[in-house]
Structure 1
Amino acid sequence: MKSSTKLVLFFLLLSSFNLFYVTGKEFQLDWEVPKSRTQQVYNQWASENRFNVNDTLNFKYKKDSVMVVSEEEYEKCHSSHPLYFSNNGDSTVFELDRPGLFFFISGVAGHCQRGQKMIIKVLEHASPSQSQTQNATTKGSSSKKNAAIGMLPISSPAILLLIISVFGFLSL
């Protein structure tokens, strides 16, 4: 086999690695004041979903804002110095960039007190079996509840084995 053909095959194989890259899921939610003050609409929704590092939340709203605050500010429903603030018109996309708890409240006066707040628990990186189960569950859900945009993960040893095989092929 000509060396130029081997080189082309090598680059094609190398460029296909991005197919195995694990991306997060995007969860969409309508960010509005709940109809009843006693409803825990957003925390109920959050408890029905599993969030991992690199997942994103897409808040859809009209004339509102999204703030990430400390636990204390979440309890008080007020923050003069939020960790994150956005009011991009009609939607905000927020990436869950670490494991742990995220506390969200509306930045509009009175909305948080009326139930427009949410706690998200982000898990450590999921194992392949968790991701596959989660993808199957998410695909059956309505896009309003959440939407999956992930791919199956591949292990590091499998990638290493593939690279070694390619170099073995190139040396033929």
Structure 2
Amino acid sequence: MESSKVFLLFFFLSVIQVVFVTSTEFQVGDKSNGWEVPKSKSDQDMYNEWASKNRFKVNDTLNFNFKKDADSVMVVTEAEYEKCHSDKPIFTAKDGGSVFKLDRPGLFYFISGTDGHCEKGQKMIVKVLASPAAAETESPPPSQSANQNATAETPASHDHANHVDKKNNAVAMHAAAAITLTTAVMSFLGALFF
């Protein structure tokens, strides 16, 4: 009887870990491309197309595969992304097997730090969703040419405020569900062992 209680304890702890600590590592550009200069002009938006086909959440990671010291990846601001240049990147890696953790919701801007590569299309915008519930309702990340500079007086910013409210509600609902699940599991374990 005691061994079955221990098994159930480990089973429920495993379920809790899966529910609360799930993350995914994405291979940027999939295994066929990796992080490299697009081969033709028609492929110049290939990284944003790849990113738009995936749903990223907080704690997911991006694996940038490239030849060591032959290229690099940088996280930059939106303005630096647009001009394909950064004197003060937020993050830089040159080791070829670079893994970047998406540590917050929002937009991340990636460019190659090697001269001329970004201008040829080696750049990408990744949109990280606030919660798993938001993953089902959020739209894909914007294309390179999207205008994201709405002012406070425009209807677009009013829509954005409503979107933020909905996102905050989704996060609150997810947190409430997590607390409810944790309470139920702890109650079950308490009844089982005491």
Would you call these one fold, judging by a TM-score over 0.5?
A: yes
5 Å-filtered alignment, 1:51-66, equals: 51-62=56-67, 63-66=70-73
Whole-Å Cα distance in 2 between the matches of residues 53 and 12 of structure 1?
26
Q: 1:51 to 1:12 in 2, by over 3 A?
A: closer
Amino acid at match of 2:112: S
Match of 2:119 among 96, 113, 116: 113
Whole-Å Cα distance in 2 between the matches of residues 76 and 55 of structure 1?
27
Q: Give the superposition deviation at 1:52.
A: 1.0
Q: 1:128 to 1:169 in 2, by over 3 A?
A: farther
Q: 1:169 to 1:121 in 2, by over 3 A?
A: same
- Return 6-15 or 55-64, whichever deviates more: 6-15
Counterpart of 2:154 in structure 1 is: none
Counterpart of 2:144 in structure 1 is: none
Amino acid at match of 2:21: V
Gaps of 5+ in 1: 131-153
Amino acid at match of 2:79: E
5 Å-filtered alignment, 1:51-130, equals: 51-62=56-67, 63-88=70-95, 90-127=96-133, 130=136
Q: 1:19 to 1:113 in 2, by over 3 A?
A: closer
- Aligned to 1:80, the other structure's residue is in SS state coil
Whole-Å Cα distance in 1 between the matches of residues 121 and 50 of structure 2?
13
- Return 77-86 or 11-20, whichever deviates more: 11-20
- Aligned to 1:162, the other structure's residue is in SS state helix
Q: Give the superposition deviation at 1:8.
A: 5.2
Query: Is the contact between residue 6 and residue 170 of structure 1 (CA under 8 Å) also seen in structure 2?
Result: no
Counterpart of 2:36 in structure 1 is: 32
Query: Is the contact between residue 129 and residue 135 of structure 2 (CA under 8 Å) also seen in structure 1?
Result: no
Counterpart of 2:54 in structure 1 is: 49
1:156 paired to 2:161: no
Taking CA–CA contacts closer than 8 Å with sequence separation of 6 or more, which of the two structures ends up with the larger relative contact order? Answer: 1
Counterpart of 1:21 in structure 2 is: 20
Q: 1:118 to 1:7 in 2, by over 3 A?
A: same
Task: Give the number of aligned pairs.
Answer: 145
- Aligned to 2:118, the other structure's residue is in SS state coil
Amino acid at match of 1:78: H
5 Å-filtered alignment, 1:130-145, equals: 130=136
> Cα RMSD (Å) of the superposition?
2.5
Q: 1:128 to 1:110 in 2, by over 3 A?
A: closer
Query: Is the contact between residue 64 and residue 106 of structure 1 (CA under 8 Å) also seen in structure 2?
Result: yes
Q: Larger strand proportion, structure 1 or 2?
A: 1
Query: Is the contact between residue 74 and residue 92 of structure 2 (CA under 8 Å) also seen in structure 1?
Result: yes
Q: 1:112 to 1:166 in 2, by over 3 A?
A: same
Amino acid at match of 1:99: P
Give the alignment's TM-score, normalised by structure 1.
Answer: 0.73
Q: 1:93 to 1:111 in 2, by over 3 A?
A: same
Q: Larger helix proportion, structure 1 or 2?
A: 2
